[in-house]
Amino acid sequence: MIQFTHVHMNYPGGNEALRNINLHIEQGAMVYIAGRSGAGKSTLLRLVALIDRHSRGQIIVNGQNLARVRNARIPIFRRHIGFMFQDHRLLNDRTVFDNVALPLVIAGSRHREIRKRVQAALDKVSLLAKVNSYPMALSGGEQQRVGVARAVVHRPAILLADEPTGNLDPTLSWDTMKLFEQFNQVGVTVLIASHDIDMVRRMSKRIITLKKGRILTHDGTPTTQ
Amino acid sequence: MNAAKRRNTRPDKTAKSALRHRFERWLLQHAQAFIFSLGQYIKHPVSNILTTAVIGISLALPASFYLLLDNVRHVSSGWDGSSQITLFLQTEIDDTQALAFANTLANNDNVRETILIKRAEALAEYRQLSGFADALEILDENPLPNVVLVKPHFDNANEDQIKTLIKALETMPAVDSAQYDSRWLQRLLSLLDIVNRLIVILSTLLGVAVLLVVGNTIRLAIHNHRAEIEISKLFGGTDSFIQRPFLYSGLWYGMFGGIIAWLLIVISTHILRQPVRQLANLYASDFQLIGLGFGHSLVLLGVGIALGLVGSWIAVKRHLRAIEPV
Ligand SMILES: Nc1ncnc2c1ncn2[C@@H]1O[C@H](COP(=O)(O)OP(=O)(O)O)[C@@H](O)[C@H]1O
Ligand SMILES: [Mg+2]
């Protein structure tokens, strides 16, 4: 599903964020990217989503060589990916419904389908009751779950989560991880970057640890699940 | 991969229905952007009405100048071509002498026609039209001379021939002075040409002003929607999807600006209509103020919409690309 071969990433200004990364993540896997702040976790996710382009090496995502994806095709490429962020990045002037519906609106789904899928996604994160609320009226944990619903509402092949639990207390973090596990169980490939190593260990999934842009260890379950 | 697979197993996946589906989606997204941008317009009424008013005034100014020019052209076209020389006769010349003079003059080779306006007729007409009837009562004698209107055989273009004719007429003993109507008409026409060019320059400048106003407004809107644009790009929004609501906003600004300009002109012509008619009556003319016709109204609206679209398009091209998800 995701394959890195000798991948390097230099940000303009000479900052080498990733050095010679080799990894293979199977379709349907759930993998944690661990490491200290500045280790290159976010950069790795950004390369997968073509938010940045890598400097050297080869990346294959969903059967596509990313070097060959032209800029004009990037939007279409991204429609198979769902995103989650630490700073949830909800649109505060839109209701929960409109926030979650965004990926479907972008894909041009019909109204009835949008309704159905948004409701299903919100039901999954137990927020159906807040469908007409605005993000500001929700607690931090609820906002995060709206972010989860938005990340999966268009049934992406890959879910990328960058520090999804950074602002949450341990119980809520754990719930969020369990939620990701559920999506993983229906076939979504899940990639989670987190510096919360204790929680990552407790999930007992495969862990890729980065240190200063290099892969330190491949822990946990081997590449196939 | 799940998503892709599910799409491929859609039962109606024939080429034709796929095309129709794409067209429907395209239509749907246009409708969404159309309604969304209108909603944004209504959501911020004060700033949007101010912007639209500026656009409306910027459109109304050149449009009303053109309209004014149109009216002046219309008035002057009545005089054009039928150039005539007005001869004011000496006051001693009485009506019979004047008639004889006019008839002799009509036989001149260079003269096509002469018309005698007797002093009494002139006074009566003047009394009726000028509004000075009471003042004229005080005079015991008619102050007006007999007047002969001379229509030459040649038209305005033959300036030299007309000059010679006027010289010849002025030396005649019965003639006090000769006045050639077309002189000031030609001055007016060349003045109108200058005014016309000035209006073109002014319209261009005001058009650019509209572009700048719309462009800047859209630039601010893009800036204010930065988070939304980033998220949309992250979830696979194409450039055309993301720019669409901004282009529609430009359309709204241009269209509502055009409507405001139209209203301003319609109200102005309505206010001016009555006094213009009075003035025309004084000149014994049945001239009526030309308002904005249907065609010109459409042109005004079209220009507004076009400027709005172009202004927003420029802003979108310059500022939307720069926003990338982080
Ligand atoms: N846009 C950028 N421009 C330049 N350097 C960057 C940029 N983003 C990240 N970096 C650098 O790349 C390294 C890895 O950053 P990041 O991937 O964000 O680490 P992490 O997510 O593990 O904290 C850091 O040294 C950071 O300063
Ligand atoms: Mg990070």
Residue A147 lies in a domain: yes
Among B11, B12, B39, B36, which Cα is nearest to B24's?
B12
State the smallest CA–CA distance between residue B232 and chain A in angstroms: 7
Residue B178 parent element (H or E): strand B175-180
By mean pLDDT, which of A96-100, B99-103, B159-163, B235-239 is the weakest? Answer: B159-163
pLDDT at B5: 45
DSSP-based three-state secondary structure for B235: coil
- Residue B62 pLDDT > 90, yes or no? yes
Give CA–CA dist A139/B237, Å, rounded.
28
Average per-residue pLDDT for chain A: 90
Taking the CA of residue A195 as reference, the ligand 1 atom at the shortest distance is: 22
Give CA–CA dist B160/B166, Å, rounded.
10
Taking the CA of residue A44 as reference, the ligand 1 atom at the shortest distance is: 17
Range of the domain at A134: 94-153
Bigger pLDDT: B212 vs B180: B212
Phi and psi of B324, rounded to 5°? -125, 150
The 3-class secondary structure across B262-305, one letter per residue, is HHHHHHHHHHHHHHHHHHHHHCCCCCCCCCCCHHHHHHHHHHHH
pLDDT at B33: 85
The total domain count for chain A is: 1
Please write the tens of the pLDDT for every residue from A28-45.
999 999 999 999 999 999
- Residue A186 structure tokens: 């229906």
Please write the tens of the pLDDT for every residue from A148-189.
999 999 999 999 999 998 778 888 888 889 999 999 999 999
What CATH number should be reported for the domain whose range is B85-181? 3.30.70.3040
- Residue B39 pLDDT > 60, yes or no? yes
Which letter does DSSP use for residue A166 in this model?
Answer: T
- Contact (Cβ atoms closer than 8 angstroms) between residue A39 and residue A210: yes
Average per-residue pLDDT for chain B: 84
pLDDT at B78: 59
- Residue B177 structure tokens: 């002075």
- Residue B110 pLDDT > 50, yes or no? yes
Decide if A137 touches B, using CB distance below 8 A: no
Residue A173 lies in a domain: no
- How much is the average pLDDT of A91-117? 93
Decide if A157 touches B, using CB distance below 8 A: yes
By mean pLDDT, which of A182-186, B173-177, B216-220 is the weakest? Answer: B173-177
Q: Can you give the C-alpha Rg of chain A in angstroms?
A: 17
> ipTM of the assembly?
0.89
Residue A124 lies in a domain: yes
pLDDT at A138: 94
CA-nearest residue for atom 6, ligand 1, is: A11
pLDDT at B157: 52
- C-beta A166 within 6 A of ligand 1: no
Phi and psi of A200, rounded to 5°? -60, -45
Phi and psi of B256, rounded to 5°? -65, -35
DSSP-based three-state secondary structure for A20: strand
Query: How many interchain CB pairs under 8 A, A with B?
Result: 68
pLDDT at B181: 65
- Residue A200 pLDDT > 50, yes or no? yes
| A201-to-A11, A28, A41 alpha-carbon distances in Å | 30, 19, 17
Bigger pLDDT: B62 vs B290: B62
pLDDT at A198: 84
- How much is the average pLDDT of B312-325? 88
Confidence grade of residue A65 (pLDDT, cut at 50, 70, 90): very high
Cβ contacts of residue A15 below 8 Å, gap of 6+?
Answer: none
By mean pLDDT, which of A60-69, A84-93, B139-148, B223-232 is the weakest? Answer: B139-148
Neighbours of A121 (CB within 10 A): 25
Confidence grade of residue B154 (pLDDT, cut at 50, 70, 90): low
Tell which one of A7, A9, A10, A15 to mutate to probe ligand 1, the residue whose CB is within 8 A of the most ligand atoms: A15
- How much is the average pLDDT of B191-199? 89
- Contact (Cβ atoms closer than 8 angstroms) between residue B287 and residue B276: yes
For strands B147-152 and B85-89, give the pairing: antiparallel
Concatenating the DSSP letter of every residue in B78-93 gives: TTSS---EEEEEPTT-
- How much is the average pLDDT of A62-88? 92
Please write the tens of the pLDDT for every residue from B4-13.
444 444 555 5
Bigger pLDDT: A96 vs B168: A96
Residue A116 lies in a domain: yes
- Residue B262 pLDDT > 90, yes or no? yes
- How much is the average pLDDT of B303-322? 93
- Residue A146 structure tokens: 């709206």
- Residue B9 structure tokens: 């197993």
- Residue A222 pLDDT > 70, yes or no? no
- Contact (Cβ atoms closer than 8 angstroms) between residue A202 and residue A170: no
Give CA–CA dist B296/B67, Å, rounded.
9
How many percent of chain A have pLDDT more than 70? 96
Give CA–CA dist B206/B115, Å, rounded.
49
Give CA–CA dist B68/B257, Å, rounded.
21
| B132-to-B122, B127, B146 alpha-carbon distances in Å | 14, 6, 20
Give CA–CA dist B117/A144, Å, rounded.
96
pLDDT at B6: 47
State the smallest CA–CA distance between residue A205 and chain B in angstroms: 21
- Contact (Cβ atoms closer than 8 angstroms) between residue B205 and residue B213: no
- C-beta A86 within 6 A of ligand 1: no
In a 10 Å sphere around its CB, with 0-12 CB exposed, 13-18 middle and 19+ buried, how is residue A55 labelled?
middle
pLDDT at A91: 94
How many percent of chain B have pLDDT more than 70? 88
Q: Which residues in B have their CB inside 8 Å of a CB on A?
A: 1-4, 6, 25-26, 28-29, 32, 227-228, 230-239, 241, 324-326
Quote the ligand 2 centre to A11 CA distance (angstroms). 14
Concatenating the DSSP letter of every residue in A97-159 gives: HHHHHHHHHHHT--HHHHHHHHHHHHHHTT-GGGTTS-GGGS-HHHHHHHHHHHHHTT--SEE
Residue A221 lies in a domain: no
How many percent of chain B have pLDDT more than 90? 35
pLDDT at B15: 77
pLDDT at B156: 53
Indicate where chain B has its CATH 3.30.70.3040 domain(s): 85-181
Decide if A76 touches B, using CB distance below 8 A: yes
Decide if A100 touches B, using CB distance below 8 A: no
